[in-house]
Amino acid sequence: MLVGVDAGVFLSRPNISLGKQDTTSRMFEQKPGLDVYLCAPRGFCAGVSRAVETVELALKTYGAPIYVRHHIVHNRHVIQSLQAKGAIFVEELSEIPDNQARVIFSAHGVPTAVESEATRRGMFIVDASCPLVKKVHREAEAYYKLGYEVVLIGHRGHPEVIGILGQLPAGAITLIVDVAAAKSFSPRSGIKLAYVTQTTLSIYDVAEIVRILEQRFPTITGPRKSDVCYATTNRQSAVKMIAPLVDAIIVIGSPASSNSQRLREVASSEGCARTLLIEDVSQLDWTLLDRTSRLGLTAGASVPELLVERLLDALAERFSLKVETVTTASEDGISFALPKALLTDARGGGAR
């Protein structure tokens, strides 16, 4: 296991660089040195932990199979592990047989039409949508009810964006995907405008798009607290801090994971010349490390810590490692309660 250390303190991997004798230590001495700057926070956020625990508790409470609409989080390892326990992942409710009464919604949230369809089919819904995504749903709905024209800053086709757009009637929300779209956007009314954002965007991209919108439409309003969630913000801040210190940065995460993709982009935009997004150590192109003496390492919000540890173990086989954890924020104590109805059933309140 990795030893957590405060910023500024270097330690070798205890089971690798210490305590070995004679020939083994001579072998270690021959390894090139590599300083690893390990971002903290990294990996699982509270919304992902809640979603994964929801599926696990549902399997324990109701038994397999349990149907889950969309990958509960964007991580192949998490999905495979839940599949092995009896979870069945589908993209649409139509793929679920009629005699299956329960469905779990993924952390990304769903359009209201999906919820209505599940209800119409008499399914028991366990909603694992992250509470911070639900917050964006409520904001969009509230602005709409107050007569605002609603703009969503986000990435087209991402399940979270589909879910947010689907909170209001078709066409009610205008999607703004980038700076160019913010510059060319023409409101329908131009009088009352409000914006919300996807939770996993680059905080720097959002700031720039909002700046343009505010410049063009000075009365535009937005959420009091940014929709870009705490986990996205913290992981990007840590990457920003290490980017100027290292020769290369590895982000562990899925290409389908928005927050992982943004971590790589932030690393590049903050001046790191070599950045790599890999799902796990098996995808690492070791030539990336040929001219690397200082390596940054982080993981997206849907990545289990085990994958970070496996990468560090593989690095330690080739390099004499010094690992420094660079901590930019604490997420201690941040957690979200599991869905109430599931908890009731799990505590013996009567399985549906």
Q: How far is the CB of 128 from ligand SF4 (least distance, A)?
A: 9
Rounded distance between C-alpha atoms, residue 146 and residue 202, angstroms: 28
By beta-carbon proximity to ligand SF4, the closer residue of 45 and 295 is 45
By beta-carbon proximity to ligand SF4, the closer residue of 41 and 296 is 41
| The one among 58, 93, 103, 133 contacting ligand SF4 by CB under 6 A | 133
Q: How many CB atoms lie within 10 A of CB 179?
A: 13
Position 307, amino acid: L
Position 99, amino acid: N
First to last CA, the chain: 40
Rounded distance between C-alpha atoms, residue 297 and residue 329, angstroms: 16
68 binds ligand SF4 (CB under 6 A): no
From the list 10-18, 129-137, 180-188, 342-350, the region that binds ligand SF4 by CB under 6 A is 129-137
Q: Which residue's Cβ lies closest to ligand SF4?
A: 47
Rounded distance between C-alpha atoms, residue 252 and residue 304, angstroms: 10
| The one among 39, 128, 130, 150 contacting ligand SF4 by CB under 6 A | 130
Q: Assess contact for 314 and 36: CB atoms under 8 A.
A: no
Position 262, amino acid: R
Q: Note if 160 is an active site residue.
A: yes
From the list 93-101, 126-134, 144-152, 308-316, the region that binds ligand SF4 by CB under 6 A is 126-134
Catalytic residue among 160, 265, 279, 324: 160
At residue 232's C-alpha, the angle toward residues 115 and 292, to 5°, is: 135
Selection from 163, 301, 165 nearest residue 230 by Cα: 301
| The one among 16, 36, 38, 45 contacting ligand SF4 by CB under 6 A | 45
By beta-carbon proximity to ligand SF4, the closer residue of 43 and 296 is 43
232 binds ligand SF4 (CB under 6 A): yes
Q: How far is the CB of 136 from ligand SF4 (least distance, A)?
A: 9
Q: Assess contact for 43 and 305: CB atoms under 8 A.
A: yes
Interface with ligand SF4 in residues 253-312 (CB under 6 A): 259, 301
Per DSSP, the residues of 120-149 read: HTTPEEEE---HHHHHHHHHHHHHHHTTPE
From the list 118-126, 225-233, 239-247, 287-295, the region that binds ligand SF4 by CB under 6 A is 225-233
From the list 39-47, 209-217, 321-329, 341-349, the region that binds ligand SF4 by CB under 6 A is 39-47
Interface with ligand SF4 in residues 150-209 (CB under 6 A): 199-200
140 binds ligand SF4 (CB under 6 A): no
Give the H/E segment covering residue 58. helix 46-62
252 binds ligand SF4 (CB under 6 A): no
> In the numeric block, which tokens belong to residue 244?
């100027």
Rounded distance between C-alpha atoms, residue 164 and residue 133, angstroms: 8
Q: Assess contact for 326 and 238: CB atoms under 8 A.
A: yes
| The one among 16, 38, 66, 107 contacting ligand SF4 by CB under 6 A | 107
Residues in touch with ligand SF4 (CB under 6 A): 45-48, 107, 130, 132-133, 199-200, 229, 231-232, 259, 301
Residues with a catalytic annotation lie at: 160
